[in-house]
Amino acid sequence: MSLHSLSSEVEKAEYWLSKADPVLGAIIQSSPTFDLRPFSKQPFEALLHAIIAQQLSVKAAAAIQQRVHALTQGNVTPEAFVHVAQQDFKKAGMSQAKINTLQQLIEFTQTEKTTFDQLQQQSDQQVKKTLCQLKGIGPWTVDIFLMFGLKRLDIFASGDLGLRKAVQSIKGLKTLPSATECEKIAIQWQPYRTIASWYLWRTLG
């Protein structure tokens, strides 16, 4: 989906979600305008950011992402990162495991086992199957990529701790819901779980 197509879907999604879940609807009404900027990344950049963000706070991940971008003067493409030394990635704050994942991803795309254009044509489940072949890329990373890189409208990253905390808060649950429990709750937000997720993250501040 293009950014323009996503933009045209947001208002429809907000209306639908507000009808489907009045609690979420109240959050939508009281929140700032939906921010399209996180969805403006090219697919490789979005997947790189998801890899960097694994097990990190938003603030820490953003700082590392900025330093990694600087390694190629903002040219965030597989071709540009081929020439970056491992030591430079480490200095930027990436762990060895994440560096290995990134280099594996670059090799995977350059050998044309798959391309980001091909991923655009695959279903959500096919994308997960393709990318989870790579060590260091799991369901959470692919879910974030599907949301922000491929701009899929109906993704819910049930493994995301922030989303689980947000669900607990807005639903008034006494304990933190499991990923499975969150998936069941999120059914009511289909087919716009990506948009619902953005508003849930907003409640975390």
pLDDT tens profile 89-107: 999 999 999 999 999 998 8
User: Count of domains in the chain?
Assistant: 2
DSSP assignment letter at 41: S
Closest to 111 measured CA to CA, from 103, 99, 122: 103
Q: Which of 110, 126, 148 is the last residue of a domain?
A: 148
More confident residue, 135 or 109: 135
Q: Are residues 76 and 110 in the same domain?
A: yes
Q: CATH number of the domain that 88 lies in?
A: 1.10.340.30
85 and 137 share one domain: yes
20 plus 50 within the same structural domain: no
Domain match, 24 and 63 both: no
Structural domain of 91: 42-148
Mean pLDDT of 190-196: 96
Say what the pLDDT of residue 165 is.
96
Q: Are residues 132 and 172 in the same domain?
A: no
Helix (H) or strand (E) holding 99: helix 96-110
Residue 156's alpha-carbon distances to 16, 29, 80, 87, 195, in angstroms, are: 17, 21, 31, 35, 9
Q: How confident is the model at residue 115 (pLDDT cuts 50, 70, 90)?
A: confident
Q: Is the pTM of this model over 0.75?
A: yes
pLDDT digits (tens, 9 = 90+) for 35-66: 888 788 889 999 999 999 999 988 999 999 99
Assess whether 47 and 129 both reside in one domain.
yes
Confidence of residue 113 (pLDDT cuts 50, 70, 90): low
CA distance 90 to 163: 29
**Does residue 139 sit in the same domain as residue 50?**
yes
Same domain (yes/no): 182, 198: yes
Q: Which residues of 79-97 are buried (b: 16+ CB within 10 A; e: fewer)?
A: eebeebeeebbeebbbbee
pLDDT band with cut points at 50, 70 and 90 for residue 109:
confident
Rounded mean pLDDT, 109-137: 88
